[in-house]
Structure 1
Amino acid sequence: MDQGLEKRYGLLTAIAMVVGIVIGSGVFFKAEKVLVATGGNLSQGILAWFLGGLVMVACAYNFAVLATHHEKVSGIVDYAETMVGPKYGYFFAWFMATIYFPAMTSVLAWVSARYFCVLLGWNIVGPEAMTIAGLFLVSSYVLNAISPRLAGKLQVSTTIIKLIPLALMAVVGTIFGLKSGILVENFNGTVLTEVKGNPLFTAVVGTSFAYEGWICATSINAELKDAKRNLPLALVIGTIFTVLMYVLYYVGLAGAVENSVMMEGGEAGAKIAFSTVFTNAGGTLLFVVVVISCLGTLNGLMLACTRSFYAMAARNEGPMPHVFNAVDKVTNMPTNSSAMGVLMAAIWLTYFYGANLTEPWFGRFCFDSSELPIITIYAMYIPIFLLQMKKGKDLGTFNRYIAPVLGIVASVFMVVAAVVSLGKAIIYYLILFAVIMCIGFALKNYGHEKAK
């Protein structure tokens, strides 16, 4: 059954995957968090969105350069392996398979369920939300496992749908705010609440979840038509477009309601803004679109999650490669890798609930699994960028030296911002990270003798 994956996706799907995964739930519920982090300082909040976007674009550009030269199984793992070495590539793939992809996927399943519950007036942390989160998780897995082509079409359609409310608020909200004077008032207003630590760093870390996910597009490298052309274009076009959309949307929100109202609104902050500009019916319609938006993001993350163990097995690395490199002849999907991917996502969904939504189950090892894995991956980019400067002899001066330096600076900035804003939670996360990586080391060659 190991026949490789079919080239089935084009440039539009790749761009939709970048934009569709990044623009999901984060832009809707992190807007309030960013404003709270800055104490109501709108200018600083916009700066945070801009800086978070620059970090994404700088890193994405470097991987776009690498994508023009390397095309194997799973983009980011290919680059780690080529630039740093096979061992680093394996541990990068293990991290993506066991921490990054499933943690992000599980959080999106819950966030999708949360907004669905808000729409119906149910408890967002109760059994209803967790049951629906599990249903969304399994449904997304089934869609990707049974009909990957349909999953790709869904990614394109949900991306288009989710852009509608963002564009409307960016334009109409700004005009509304200029006419009413709210926008000018929000820009000129003083800090509304006292903030601890470095508010800008805290706000940038808050944007990290909203900007994350673009790297998932590299997971379909082996299934992308003309990948050396289409993947770089998708990364550059998708990330730049996202930054512009986020900043304009954030300004539009500031034109809809006062900063104090937005800060107090919590998960309903965006709904209040839309209800103000587009009436109560518009606010309700927003939440329908938000649910669709979240499900589109979940679909893209699941698409990457289901291929993560295959990325290792295709290199004959990791546990039981003869099992996880199996590709179904009918669906052309790595079925065993898909099953393991959804299992890992279910484990992380259970952790997210026990660590963040109820009385803590894990003591000091309770942390937000939507943010800390993101910070880890930025740290893991740094060796790739360093070796890009050493090995990229066929690249021009900008792509060999300037772009990697910008990528390193952006990655270091995100790590420092996390340390400053998240504090001791990082220590306990890193302990868990080290344990999982040690398990990966122990299982690196497990079951290989059975393949002979």
Structure 2
Amino acid sequence: MDDGSIRKRKESQNGSIGHIVDCQTKDKQPAKATVLQKDVGLLSGICLIVGTMIGSGIFISPKPVLLYSGAVGPCLVIWAACGVLATLGALCYAELGTMITKSGGEYSYFKEAYGSVIAYLYSWTTVMVLKPSSFAIITLSFAGYASTPFYPGCTPPAVVTKCLSAAAILLIVSVNCLSVKLASYVQNFFTAAKLFIIIVIVVAGMVMLAQGKTDTLSNAFDGTSSSFGAIGLAFYNGLWAYDGWNQLNFITEELKDPYRNLPLAIIIGIPLVSVCYVLVNVAYFSVLTTTELLQSPAVAVTFGDRVLYPMSWIVPLFVVFSTFGAANGSCFTAGRLAYVSGREGHMVKILSYISLKHYTPSPALIFNGILAICYIIPADINTLINYFSFATWSFYGLAALALIVMRFTRKELHRPVKVPIVIPALMVLVSCYLVLAPIIDKPELEYLYCAIFILSGLLLYYPLIHLKVKWAHKLMSPITMHLQLLMEVVPPEIN
């Protein structure tokens, strides 16, 4: 029997060529287990949280938060309240993440608390829409700020911003595919850059206040909105800026000493971001009137032009850094969710494979990048934010409820961090409000589309996952084999 026949027989017996590739390499170099490596320390964890939270949100969201709240006073109150909500939510996730030390964030918690169907619907919605659309939103913001200096006095053409956004996605996905450590270094650098520009804006605002520029902050509650739904939309946009407080839970398996570093990174990172956000908004109002802020195409850039001239160019430059760093963090965690979903059989198996050279979930990262590029083609940022927030807060509420459920159904699980049960109960109520209030106040078709898309996942779940129809396996096997050869990836080893 020739070598080719032997190879084919081995492939048939193993069901995957990844095992053969792995065996061939064992004699050539010291073998690591083909699993994701624990390369993320406390500093990188803090930078991932801070770097993902401080992205485009603080440079986009001040306008809609002010618009929907109606006045400066409630606007600042909402920013502070959003920080408190993010901290309370993150404390719930600290208990979940130290109780269930699997990557994948909410997916792993839903699977433990509710079973396979809810976990699948979450992964279906998040992998296919929420994560790539978030990636697209952030890179579109990056592209808008990066291209604005080249088109003084006018808005950059849509084709330019979309092409630049696509280029950023390709670059970020490449970095994350090459090395976890390289992606962490990139995240740490851009987090330092965004904290620098935040400090510059805050200090400049404090100087302006010291000079008596307090007109906008006087009579701060005049004109406050009384609309139930409008306040909900104001919270939507504020919480969009805070989104990212749960990102570390997606990479628990790659975190060094997760029992210590996960809660510590949360306790340090989120209050830091909350203080920064409130102070940045105070700084904006020390220079801009409410009308000027609402009319500004880029609030941070307008602020820099007023206060930092002739050094005002540093603001758009560092905003570009900020949005790029947030996009990197979003990509980093999105790949892990697709990886875990594939490993558990809720997505195609190729998404769970790991690069033999770089020990990164490169198929999952590439898949997320392809979807993000698709989303930038028809993108409207405001519509995407509303769509994203509606579905996201539904899942945040389910995660808080999962914590309560497992207090009764999974009492045997070790809980290094244990929060008072009133905190997840409050998060469930807040989530219900944030999901229902805008729908009741002003129904939009996008909410219906979101609900239909989530439930449509059941059409695939029943035949492909519950029944495990054979024709689907036969169809995917040759595709998986060729993708393995192309990307040099192998199945993860089971611990």
* TM-score when normalising by structure 1: 0.87
Number of the residue aligned with 1:141: 173
Number of the residue aligned with 2:161: 129
Give the secondary-structure state (helix, strand or coil) at the position aligned to 1:74.
coil
- Give 2:430's match in structure 1, choosing from 403, 410, 413: 410
In structure 1, distance between residues paired with 2:102 and 2:219? 52
Task: Point out the more displaced range, 391-400 or 197-206.
Answer: 391-400
Task: Point out the more displaced range, 127-136 or 328-337.
Answer: 328-337
Number of the residue aligned with 2:264: 233
Structure 1 residues 324 and 289, CA gap change in structure 2 (3 angstroms) = same
Deviation at 1:227, TM superposition (A): 1.6
1:318 matched to 2:346? The reply is yes
Asked if structure 2 preserves the Cα contact closer than 8 Å seen for 1:106 and 1:346, the reply is yes
1:103 matched to 2:133? The reply is yes
1:281 matched to 2:301? The reply is no
Deviation at 1:262, TM superposition (A): 1.3
Number of the residue aligned with 1:84: 114
Number of the residue aligned with 2:402: 384
Task: Point out the more displaced range, 88-97 or 149-158.
Answer: 88-97
1:328 matched to 2:359? The reply is no
- Percent identity, aligned pairs only, is 21
Number of the residue aligned with 1:360: none
Give the secondary-structure state (helix, strand or coil) at the position aligned to 1:188.
coil
Number of the residue aligned with 1:361: none
- Give 1:117's match in structure 2, choosing from 133, 143, 147: 147
Task: Point out the more displaced range, 335-344 or 299-308.
Answer: 335-344
Task: Give the residue type in structure 1 aligned to 2:428.
Answer: I
In structure 1, distance between residues paired with 2:55 and 2:100? 29
Which has the larger Rg? Answer: 2
Number of the residue aligned with 1:66: 96
In structure 1, distance between residues paired with 2:457 and 2:147? 33
Structure 1 unaligned regions, length at least 5: 358-365
In structure 1, distance between residues paired with 2:416 and 2:331? 36
In structure 2, distance between residues paired with 1:435 and 1:278? 51
- Give 1:212's match in structure 2, choosing from 219, 225, 243: 243
Give the secondary-structure state (helix, strand or coil) at the position aligned to 2:451.
helix
In structure 1, distance between residues paired with 2:102 and 2:226? 47
In structure 2, distance between residues paired with 1:421 and 1:138? 40
Deviation at 1:62, TM superposition (A): 0.5
Deviations 1:42-70 (A, max 9, x none): 11001111222222111111010122222
Asked if structure 2 preserves the Cα contact closer than 8 Å seen for 1:59 and 1:410, the reply is no
User: Which aligned pairs between 1:397-436 and structure 2 lie closer than 5 A?
Assistant: 399=419, 401-420=421-440, 423-424=443-444, 425-436=446-457
Give the secondary-structure state (helix, strand or coil) at the position aligned to 2:82.
helix
Deviation at 1:308, TM superposition (A): 2.6
Deviation at 1:111, TM superposition (A): 1.2
In structure 2, distance between residues paired with 1:343 and 1:176? 45
Asked if structure 1 preserves the Cα contact closer than 8 Å seen for 2:147 and 2:161, the reply is yes
Number of the residue aligned with 1:301: 330
Give the secondary-structure state (helix, strand or coil) at the position aligned to 2:155.
coil
Task: Give the residue type in structure 2 aligned to 1:428.
Answer: Y
Deviations 1:74-105 (A, max 9, x none): 23322222232233333322322112211111
Structure 1 residues 396 and 235, CA gap change in structure 2 (3 angstroms) = closer
Structure 2 unaligned regions, length at least 5: 1-17, 20-33, 481-490
In structure 2, distance between residues paired with 1:60 and 1:158? 23
Task: Give the residue type in structure 2 aligned to 1:141.
Answer: V
User: Which aligned pairs between 1:259-270 and structure 2 lie closer than 5 A?
Assistant: 259-265=290-296, 267-270=297-300
Deviation at 1:210, TM superposition (A): 0.6
In structure 1, distance between residues paired with 2:417 and 2:142? 44
In structure 1, distance between residues paired with 2:155 and 2:367? 30
* TM-score when normalising by structure 2: 0.80
Q: CA RMSD in A?
A: 2.9
In structure 2, distance between residues paired with 1:34 and 1:232? 29
Deviations 1:400-422 (A, max 9, x none): 52222122233223223443565
Asked if structure 1 preserves the Cα contact closer than 8 Å seen for 2:136 and 2:373, the reply is yes
In structure 2, distance between residues paired with 1:412 and 1:194? 21
Give the secondary-structure state (helix, strand or coil) at the position aligned to 1:279.
coil
In structure 2, distance between residues paired with 1:196 and 1:280? 42
In structure 2, distance between residues paired with 1:287 and 1:195? 35
Structure 1 residues 432 and 70, CA gap change in structure 2 (3 angstroms) = closer
1:338 matched to 2:365? The reply is yes
Give the secondary-structure state (helix, strand or coil) at the position aligned to 1:412.
helix
Asked if structure 2 preserves the Cα contact closer than 8 Å seen for 1:313 and 1:324, the reply is yes
Structure 1 residues 236 and 418, CA gap change in structure 2 (3 angstroms) = farther
In structure 2, distance between residues paired with 1:137 and 1:397? 36
Task: Point out the more displaced range, 376-385 or 187-196.
Answer: 187-196
Deviations 1:119-156 (A, max 9, x none): 32263452111111111111111111123211111101
Asked if structure 2 preserves the Cα contact closer than 8 Å seen for 1:59 and 1:407, the reply is yes
Give the secondary-structure state (helix, strand or coil) at the position aligned to 1:352.
coil
Structure 1 residues 437 and 244, CA gap change in structure 2 (3 angstroms) = farther
Structure 1 residues 64 and 125, CA gap change in structure 2 (3 angstroms) = farther
In structure 2, distance between residues paired with 1:85 and 1:72? 15
Give the secondary-structure state (helix, strand or coil) at the position aligned to 2:40.
coil
Asked if structure 2 preserves the Cα contact closer than 8 Å seen for 1:49 and 1:246, the reply is yes
